[in-house]
Amino acid sequence: MSESLSLSGYQARRGEIEIYFDRTAADAWAKLTSDAKVSGIRATVRAGRDAMRKTLLFWMPADLKGVRILDAGCGAGQLAIEAARRGADVVAVDVAGTLVNLARERAAQETFAGRIDFRTGDMLSAEHGVFDYVVAMDSLIHYDAADIVRVLGGLAPRTRSAILFTFAPKTAALSAMHAAGKLFPKSDRAPSIRPAAEAHLRRSVGEAPALNGWMAARTKKISSGFYTSQAMELRPQ
């Protein structure tokens, strides 16, 4: 991890996220990411996440044979499994070991399980290697815009084709829910989501020295009840 990142709020937030997903909400997220019936708020979140995952996968080639992907914040492994099904070699990393173990168990049932290397740790570790694509679905939504840009700057030198990530768009509705702390039921509430304005992110990417030669390209917002997230693609210029 770079010195600039170590001086930011990245590590502190990373610790909060690890505790939440590794302990507090592990069972809830295992159910949410399964085929088990859910209702109410969780049903809208599941539908939104499914739509977002399809979007990010669509932004990569249909045939992923020979393509190396970093699933940065893999959670229960749904995106990693689908990418491997399409032929990719995937390194799937998450800070929450409980979810990584769950993802590994689910993938073990597939014939292509050998193409996924599940790891517990930091997405920014240079030990993961170099990739064609880095995908960070909803793993950066808990960070301030400045830290998001620093994370992207840390990933860029190890990415050949594109970084696909999501952020919480700064809309009136999402900001109001964020301020009220009502994005999730109290018992399941995650570390706070940090809304970011698209225009600000694009400008920050363009001004960041670590992202020199990169540009923010296409984007798509997914809204489904209590789920709102926006995908953005970063590509070399």
pLDDT at 18: 78
pLDDT band at 10, cuts 50/70/90?
confident
Tell me the C-alpha distance between 173 and 199, whole Å. Answer: 18
pLDDT in tens, 38-54: 888 899 999 999 999 99
Residue 210 DSSP SS3: helix
DSSP string, 71-137: EET-TTSHHHHHHHHTT-EEEEEES-HHHHHHHHHHHTTSTTGGGEEEEES-TT-GGG--EEEEEES
Backbone angles phi, psi at 148, to 5 degrees: -60, -45
Contacts 24+ apart (CB under 8 A), 11-14: 13/142, 13/143, 13/147, 13/191, 14/95, 14/122
Sorted by where each starts, the structural domains of the chain and their CATH numbers stand as: 3-236 (3.40.50.150)
pLDDT in tens, 137-152: 999 998 999 999 999 9
Tell me how many degrees the CA angle 45-143-174 measures, rounded to the nearest 5.
45
pLDDT in tens, 161-217: 999 999 999 877 666 655 555 555 544 455 778 999 999 999 999 999 999 999 999
